[in-house]
Amino acid sequence: MMNSSLILNCTQQYRKINLTEVCHMYYIDGVITIELHDEEKILCCMALKEIEDKLPQEFVKINRNTIINVLFLVAFYKHTPKVTMENGRSFTVSRRNISMLVKKIKQHYLTVNS
């Protein structure tokens, strides 16, 4: 992972986060919630696009308001389409983002066709 950390403008502070610990992030009502692998949540008042442009290749936008780290992906359900993350959270994948998600999965994991 090239960029290992980011400095974010959060609600009460500027906060440095280690990107290897970020499971996923989502935008709701003007606030980005970043969930770390240890289940800590960080709230930031930024546009998702500002963060998205600075993320390394392990991250992929799966819908208008959600970015996931594929290294914490447990399952991608092709027919639903949804993803489940290691912390148990599930998110819907928009049709327009399915191909990019599949590409990222293939870049980071060995896939076997049966």
**Model's pTM, two decimal places?**
0.89
The more confident residue out of 111 and 15 is: 15
Q: How do residues 33-56 score in pLDDT, each as one tens digit?
A: 999 999 899 998 888 898 998 899
CA distance 79 to 105: 16
Q: For the domain 5-108, what is the CATH superfamily, name and number? A: LytTr DNA-binding domain (2.40.50.1020)
Q: How do residues 71-87 score in pLDDT, each as one tens digit?
A: 999 999 989 999 999 99
**Mean predicted lDDT score pLDDT of the chain:** 90
pLDDT of residue 65: 96
- Contact indicator for 93, 102 with CB cutoff of 8 Å: no
Domain ranges of the chain: 5-108
